[in-house]
Amino acid sequence: MWKAFSAPRCARSCAATFSRPLKLLGYHSQIIHNNWKLYAENVRDSYHATLLHTFYTTFKINRLDMDGGIRITDAAQPWHHLSFAKRATLDAAEEYKAAEVHSASYETRLNGPELLEAWNEFDDGITHSIQALFPTLAIQFTLNSLAVRWFTPRGVDKTELFWMYIGYEDDDEAEERMRIMQSNLTGAAGLVSLEDGCINEFVQRGTKGSGQSASAFMEMGGKTVESSEASRATEVAIRGFWKGYREIMGFA
Amino acid sequence: MTTKTAAKRDVPVLDPDLRARVADFLADYAHAIDDDRLEEWPGYFTADALYHITTRESDAAGLPIGIMHCRGRGMLEDRIKALRTANIFEPHSYCHILGATRLVDQGASVLSARTNFTVTRTMQDGGTDALRHRQISRRDRGRRRELGAPFAAGGAGVSAD
Ligand SMILES: [Fe+2]
């Protein structure tokens, strides 16, 4: 059932994620005070991760100056996408600049550095990936933390966001411990994700405006939905979502 | 899990002085958070503390990932550092209302304390949410474990903060 649904929509790396027996490590949900479509945009917006999530940039987990891209994973219905980044590619660039600036790495100043202990799980060098499946599902790998995220509307300006953390049955003790530690990055109290709930609420208030009849309009560049293999500085994934939404709702 | 161990060797501590000292400790802890003296918070833990916040369901199922999991005081200090210098969030304040503390002697220098609490969170616009928690602290040669179990309707009720 999962395979029939996901196979044509997922990137191959996503299919590989579910090719071994899984182990449930935990789950919870949180209420966020914004319309569900704002969270759908949040999942697909590749700019904000490095602008908003200081923890990602500071600790070099996910930055736009790493090699990465957006892959539209279903050509027939370009509503689904994979966003990916390769952490090691930034390290190389850093070494190049090390002599001039920022010699001190903030990472060494983490008082509990085991939070970010990780191992290279895949040989393609991808260390951060989010496979978004239209409309409300995302499968993410951050370092070694595998999580499935989905959300459901609870009102016009209220959304319930669910987090499920997964490992593999054949994980050894050290691997499971690293997945548990890294889960602190995401979820309701995640060092990174806690900001999404807040910022979406700000956008909700700003979009709604001060009056009942007020509305906001913001046009982004570009019109097409196609893969951007070399850069995540693009809105293709967001346009892909709205393309799907408009087609289904008959607005197209 | 702490709760299961406690069920096996549930010997309440009746010494009123000891109980008062633990209750004071927990009150000081809560007031440090309510008064935004967050830099003091890691000091309530030993260097090898385990700090674990989870949900009722995950705790019952014995799942290792809850909502927050810190091993060692260093990770608690990092939380405060991130909160103060890195994280973006809407300013808010907390008020903890603590219930009575019940102490259980688990032998081998292990003392387990349970204090239920309600915490209100007041946002910038004055809006206030109430979250209810059960807290279990366990002192094992000074180690401390905390178990918060939010139980709002629908399994939700934890807000990002
Ligand atoms: Fe985000």
Mean pLDDT by 10 residues, chain B (161 residues): 48 82 90 96 87 87 93 93 88 92 78 85 82 59 43 25 25
Q: Is residue B87 part of a domain?
A: yes
| Domain at B116, CATH number | 3.10.450.50
Shortest Cα distance from A243 to chain B (angstroms)?
A: 30
d(CA A57, CA B61): 35
Q: Is residue B159 part of a domain?
A: no
DSSP state of B84: I
- Ligand 1 centroid to Cα of residue A49, in Å, is 5
Q: Is residue B2 part of a domain?
A: no
Domain residue spans in chain A?
A: 2-6+20-106+121-249
- Count CB atoms within 10 A of the CB of residue A48: 13
Rg of chain A (C-alpha set) = 18
Cβ-defined contact of B75 to A114 (cutoff 8 Å): yes
Confidence band, pLDDT 50/70/90 cuts, at residue A191: very high
The pLDDT value recorded for residue A13 is 72
Phi and psi for A44 in degrees, rounded to 5?
-100, -10
Give tens-digit pLDDT for A27-63.
999 999 999 999 999 999 988 887 788 888 777 788 7
The pLDDT value recorded for residue B19 is 87
Chain B residue numbers touching A198 (CB-CB < 8 A): 88-90, 160
Among the listed residues B101, B100, B1, the one whose alpha carbon sits nearest the alpha carbon of residue B56? B1
Q: Is residue B64 part of a domain?
A: yes
Q: What is the mean pLDDT of residues A156-176?
A: 96
Cβ-defined contact of B158 to A189 (cutoff 8 Å): yes
Phi and psi for A239 in degrees, rounded to 5?
-65, -35
Give me the numbers of helices (H) and strands (E) for chain B, helices first please.
4, 6
Mean pLDDT: which of A136-150, A200-214, A227-241, B134-148 is highest? A136-150
Residue span of the structural domain in which B58 resides: 16-145
Chain B residue numbers touching A187 (CB-CB < 8 A): 67
Of the partner residues A27, A30, A176, the one whose CB lies closest to the CB of residue B159? A30
Q: What is the ipTM of this complex?
A: 0.87
The pLDDT value recorded for residue A142 is 92
The pLDDT value recorded for residue B134 is 61
Among the listed residues A97, A98, A117, the one whose alpha carbon sits nearest the alpha carbon of residue A107? A117
Cβ-defined contact of A52 to B157 (cutoff 8 Å): no
Residue B58's alpha-carbon distances to A26, A177, A205, A229, in angstroms, are 6, 17, 33, 39
User: For residue A106, is pLDDT > 80?
Assistant: no
Which CATH architecture group holds A2-6+20-106+121-249? Alpha-Beta Complex (3.90)
Angle between helices A36-44 and A236-249 (to 10 degrees): 140
> What 3-state DSSP class applies to B134?
strand
- Ligand 1 centroid to Cα of residue B17, in Å, is 49
Q: Which of A94-98, A100-104, A129-133 has the lowest mean pLDDT?
A: A100-104
Q: Is residue B8 part of a domain?
A: no
Cβ-defined contact of A26 to B58 (cutoff 8 Å): yes
Q: What is the mean pLDDT of residues A100-105?
A: 35
Q: What is the mean pLDDT of residues A7-17?
A: 77
Q: Is residue B98 part of a domain?
A: yes
Structurally, chain B folds into a number of domains equal to 1
Of A170 and A67, more confident = A170
The pLDDT value recorded for residue B12 is 78
Name the average pLDDT for chain A: 85
Q: Is residue B151 part of a domain?
A: no
Q: Is residue B66 part of a domain?
A: yes
Confidence band, pLDDT 50/70/90 cuts, at residue A103: very low
Shortest Cα distance from B76 to chain A (angstroms)?
A: 8
Question: Is-contact B133 B150, C-beta < 8 A?
Answer: yes
The pLDDT value recorded for residue A105 is 38
